[in-house]
């Protein structure tokens, strides 16, 4: 939970305990942009080899600070320490993945011709990039924008979520400790207003955003008349996990729990809707419900380690509780009641509600541990129901044959499509993004290189040589 103690001060609190973790002054967007613009020419003029070397030194700094950083992530987000450690590992691994992706996605190309000279394709950085980060993965997701953008030669203005500024500040420290100039990577502390100011500032050449569809749409609308500014929107999803015939019912239940409730459901790829074939319904729910009730919910440092921690703050917990009750009031049947063990802290137990009989199910992203169950007669009906959303980020099929999966893959509207795997846990070595309200066709992860530099086509000769062959007077 984060709140403003004064107009210029941001305070961060640990969700699990309510203790104050960090406080800092709001950043000056105008000054930060000016510094980034001044730093950009020198940074872009450095050799690619030098920028890659500094990125690798950054990875070493993160390795050295791994325990400290993981503990801070766990405390500020509430996620279990074991999960925070996996996030730090992802930050380190992102560097080599980004180096490889830059070489593959933006490599130089030349085509020589004796008479026409050389045709070349090279890439240039955009300039100053604003990176707006989320709270659920406060280092991994912004880092997935920052590292590729730095390698490409951009300077960075990173505004972490106002709910996780302490982790953002620690990440930027690691960039500075490795020798990257302070004006090349800057942190801009603040709330929604600072984010809006960065988006609108004429000195910002690109906006790389991870967060809610509502905020992403607002950014898109703000920049609709400014095509010169590159915009990459990584938003959420109302993600389906479809279960058809399978003898592996226990495994199916585990995959559903992993998809819906990891990180307390606070993942953009989390399963929000379990779409299950009627013939599998009873056996599947007989496994899923007891397993869900066994999940440990607790503080990030608890022993034994919990499966999931709290949601990010009390306001979020209140809204999720209200949403669960609204689904029940609209005709949903609660299968596992969502509970709030402590009304003063944002811990929630996972909730499952059958919404099959709700005529107009709300097409929204409930960003927490809420899973809706929808029964269907067959795979085709399951595909139709899975596509009954404006979002299109992640979708999984559990069970079926290779032919069933081929039909599922061909007809599902999503950017990430899995078979007998969770909806979440995407690889950084593959593109990551969605369609509809889930993104704007600028996939991140391995394809981040595509929006961090733009291609330049050239034709070149050492000396001018030309003639006009027709149309001249004698």
> Which residues have a catalytic role annotated?
234, 268
Task: Give Cα separations from 70 to 58, 77, 89, 190, 312 (angstroms).
Answer: 16, 11, 9, 23, 16
Asked if 154 contacts 1 with a C-beta cutoff of 8 angstroms, the reply is: no
End-to-end distance of the chain based on CA atoms, in angstroms?
83
Q: What tokens were used for 205? A: 């050449």
Element housing 63 (H / E): helix 48-64
Q: In 10 A of CB 292, how many CB atoms?
A: 22
Element housing 143 (H / E): helix 140-152
Angle at 331 between CA 325 and CA 335, to 5 degrees: 65
Residues in the chain: 474
Asked if 207 contacts 219 with a C-beta cutoff of 8 angstroms, the reply is: yes
Q: For residues 355 and 455, what is the distance between their CA atoms, to the nearest angstrom?
A: 48
**In which residue are the tokens 């009730």 written?**
293
Q: For residues 163 and 70, what is the distance between their CA atoms, to the nearest angstrom?
A: 16
Q: Which of 113, 109, 108 is nearest to 461 (CA)?
A: 113
**Residue 129 CA neighbour count, 13 Å, CB half:** 30
Q: What tokens were used for 226? A: 């400014």
- State the DSSP string of 214-238: HHHHHHHHHTTT-TTSEEEEE----
> Residue 447: helix, strand or coil by DSSP?
helix
Task: Give Cα separations from 263 to 145, 146, 192, 388 (angstroms).
Answer: 21, 23, 24, 25
Q: 140-152 and 81-105 helices cross at what angle (nearest 10)? A: 20
> Residue 92: helix, strand or coil by DSSP?
helix
Q: Which of 238, 305, 243, 297 is nearest to 272 (CA)?
A: 238
Rg over CA atoms, the chain: 24
Strands of 109-113's sheet in order across: 109-113, 117-125, 453-460
Q: What tokens were used for 223? A: 């920049």
Q: What tokens were used for 289? A: 């419900």
Q: For residues 53 and 126, what is the distance between their CA atoms, to the nearest angstrom?
A: 21
């Amino acid at each position: 939970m984060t709140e403003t103690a004064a107009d210029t001060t941001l305070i961060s609190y640990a969700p699990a305990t309510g203790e104050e973790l960090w406080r800092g002054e709001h950043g000056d967007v105008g000054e930060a942009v000016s510094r980034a613009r001044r730093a950009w020419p020198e940074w872009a003029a450095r050799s690619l080899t030098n920028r890659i070397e500094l990125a690798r030194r950054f990875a070493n700094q993160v390795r050295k600070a791994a325990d400290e950083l993981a503990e801070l992530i766990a405390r500020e987000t509430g996620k279990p320490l074991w999960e925070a450690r996996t996030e730090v590992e992802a930050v380190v691994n992102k560097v080599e993945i980004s180096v490889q992706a830059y070489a593959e996605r933006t490599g130089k190309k030349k085509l020589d011709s004796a008479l026409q000279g050389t045709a070349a394709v090279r890439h240039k950085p955009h300039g100053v990039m604003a990176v707006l980060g989320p709270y659920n993965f406060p280092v991994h997701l912004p880092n997935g924008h920052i590292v590729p953008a730095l390698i490409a030669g951009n300077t960075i203005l990173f505004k972490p979520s106002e709910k996780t500024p302490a982790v953002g500040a620690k990440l930027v420290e690691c960039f500075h400790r490795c020798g990257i100039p302070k004006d090349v990577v800057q942190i801009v502390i603040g709330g929604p207003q600072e984010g809006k100011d960065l988006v609108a500032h004429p000195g910002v050449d690109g906006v790389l955003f991870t967060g809610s569809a509502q905020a992403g749409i607002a950014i898109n609308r703000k920049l609709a008349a400014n095509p010169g500014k590159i915009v990459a929107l990584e938003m959420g999803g109302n993600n389906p996990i479809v279960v058809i015939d399978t003898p592996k019912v226990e495994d199916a239940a585990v995959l559903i729990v992993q998809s819906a409730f990891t990180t307390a459901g606070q993942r953009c790829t989390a399963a929000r809707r379990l779409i299950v074939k009627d013939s599998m319904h009873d056996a599947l729910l007989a496994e899923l419900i007891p397993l869900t009730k066994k999940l440990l919910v607790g503080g990030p440092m608890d022993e034994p380690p919990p499966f999931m921690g709290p949601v990010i703050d009390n306001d979020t917990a209140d809204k999720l509780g209200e949403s669960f009750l609204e689904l029940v009031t609209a005709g949903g049947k609660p299968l596992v009641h969502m509970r709030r063990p402590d009304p003063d802290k944002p811990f929630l137990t996972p909730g499952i509600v059958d919404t099959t009989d709700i005529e107009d199910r709300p097409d929204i992203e409930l960003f927490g541990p809420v899973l809706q169950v929808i029964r269907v007669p067959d795979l085709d009906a399951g595909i139709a129901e899975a596509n009954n959303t404006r979002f299109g980020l992640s979708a999984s099929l559990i069970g079926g044959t290779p032919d069933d999966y081929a039909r599922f893959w061909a007809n599902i509207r999503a950017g990430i499509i899995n078979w007998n795997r969770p909806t979440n846990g995407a690889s950084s070595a593959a593109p990551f993004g969605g369609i509809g309200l889930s993104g704007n066709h600028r996939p991140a992860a391995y394809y981040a290189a595509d929006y961090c530099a733009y291609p330049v086509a050239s034709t070149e000769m050492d000396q001018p040589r030309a003639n006009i062959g027709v149309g001249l007077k004698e």
